[in-house]
Amino acid sequence: MTQKPLLSLQNVSKQFPIGKKVLTAVDGFSLDIYPGETVGLVGESGSGKSTVGRLSLYLQKPTTGSVLFDGFDLSLLSSREIRKMRRRFQMIFQDPYASLNPRMTVQDTIGEAFDIHKLVSKKQREEKIVELLESVGLDQSHLSRFPHEFSGGQRQRIGIARALAVEPGFIVCDEPISALDVSIRAQIINLLKKLQKEKGLTYLFIAHDLSMIKYLSDRVAVMYLGHLVELASSQELYSKPLHPYTQALLASIPIPDPVIEKKRERILLQGEAQNSSNSSVGCPFQHRCPFAQAICKEKKPLFEEVTPGHFAACHFAKNWL
C-alpha cells in the first residue's frame, strides 16, 4: 500500500490499575488502516479488542504509544482541537439499549451532532435529520419518538444515523450486531455495507462472530490477551492461518451444516485465557498452545511479515505455509 494510512496505531499499550495490580488490556499494538477498507478485529473476552476500538477514537488515552489520525498525532492536540477533529471519526456501539439517551427524542439524538458543531441552520436541521433517518431505513414519523419505543434493530439504525450526522470518514463498529436477533443482523450488516459504498467510509469492525467478520472485512486482525497475533487479508486468514490461536479459533466456529460438523477435525484448546501479570516473558499464548516449545516460554515472538501482507507473531509461523 503506497497510500497514507487513515488511522495509525503505533505500539499502543493501555493499562488499567485494578486495586494494587495493573491490568494490561492492550500490549504493544500496531495497526495501520487505509482509506476505504474494512479491517475486522477479532478476539475473545480479555483480548482487548474493545479497548483498541476506544483507543482508536481517543475515547481512552493510550498509556504508551501513539494514535495518529490522518497523520495527526492525537496526543499533541489540545482538547478543543480534538473535539473538532472528532467529526472525522465515530463509533457505533454494541448495546442498542444503552447507546441512546432514553430522555432524548430521535430528533435530538441525531441532531446533537449538528448542535455541538453548529453545522446547519435551524431551518435545515430538520431536513437533514430526516435525510439521515431515511438513509438508514427509518422515516419522518420517527422524529419525536423516544428510544424505548423502538426495537433493537431500529435503535442500532438510529445510532448509525447519529454517527453519520457529522459526515465522518472512519467508523469503528464495536460489536454492532451481537445484541440483535439473528434475522435482523443481516439487515444492519447490509446497511453498513451500503453506506460504506455510498459514502466511501473506512471501517474498523470489532466482533467475535468470525463468520460475519469474514463476510465483511478486507483484512482481519486477531488479538489474544492484548496482543496482536495475526494480520492478513480475509481470504488468507481463513484459508491459511499461521498462528495456532487463529487455527484453534477457526476450528471452533460452528458451521451450519450437519454433514460438515460431524466430520470436522477439532482443535480443542484446553483451559481458559488467563491474564496473569507474569505473562510478559515469552509468548502470551504459551499456556494453551498445543505446539509450545521451549523457546516459546523464553522469548516473545515478534509480529512480522511471513508472506507479503500476512503477519503473525509466532516462532514457528513459517512451518504452516
The residue among 32, 5, 44, 7 whose CA lies nearest residue 213 is 44
Task: Verify binding: residue 22, other proteins, rule CB under 8 A.
Answer: no
Q: Between residues 104 and 120, which has the closer beta carbon with respect to other proteins?
A: 104
Task: Verify binding: residue 52, other proteins, rule CB under 8 A.
Answer: no
Determine the Cα–Cα distance for residues 37 and 28; give it in Å rounded to an integer.
23
Determine the Cα–Cα distance for residues 89 and 164; give it in Å rounded to an integer.
10
Contact pick of 77, 120, 251, 292 for other proteins (by CB under 8 A):
251
The residue among 72, 90, 261 whose CA lies nearest residue 173 is 90
* Phi then psi dihedrals of residue 101, to 5 deg: -65, 115
Task: Verify binding: residue 76, other proteins, rule CB under 8 A.
Answer: no
Q: Between residues 3 and 211, which has the closer beta carbon with respect to other proteins?
A: 211
Task: Verify binding: residue 167, other proteins, rule CB under 8 A.
Answer: no
What is the layout of strands, in order, in the sheet containing 7-18?
A: 21-33, 7-18, 64-69, 72-73
Q: 106 to 135, contacts with other proteins by CB under 8 A?
A: 112-113, 116-117
Determine the Cα–Cα distance for residues 237 and 104; give it in Å rounded to an integer.
43
Task: Verify binding: residue 292, other proteins, rule CB under 8 A.
Answer: no
Contact pick of 75, 190, 280, 293 for other proteins (by CB under 8 A):
190
Of the candidate spans 16-24, 30-38, 203-211, 313-321, the one that interacts with other proteins by CB under 8 A turns out to be 203-211
Three-state SS at 1: coil
| Alpha-carbon torsion (8, 177, 82, 35), positive or negative | positive
Task: Verify binding: residue 302, other proteins, rule CB under 8 A.
Answer: no
Size of interface with other proteins, in residues (CB under 8 A): 82
* Least spacing, CB of residue 59 vs other proteins, in Å: 6
Q: Between residues 120 and 273, which has the closer beta carbon with respect to other proteins?
A: 273
Contact pick of 9, 195, 201, 210 for other proteins (by CB under 8 A):
210
Contact pick of 44, 70, 126, 218 for other proteins (by CB under 8 A):
44
Task: Verify binding: residue 137, other proteins, rule CB under 8 A.
Answer: yes
Would you call 47 exposed, middle or buried from its count of C-beta atoms within 10 A (0-12, 13-18, 19+)? buried
- DSSP string computed for 132-162: HHHHTT--GGGTT--GGGS-HHHHHHHHHHH
* Least spacing, CB of residue 199 vs other proteins, in Å: 17
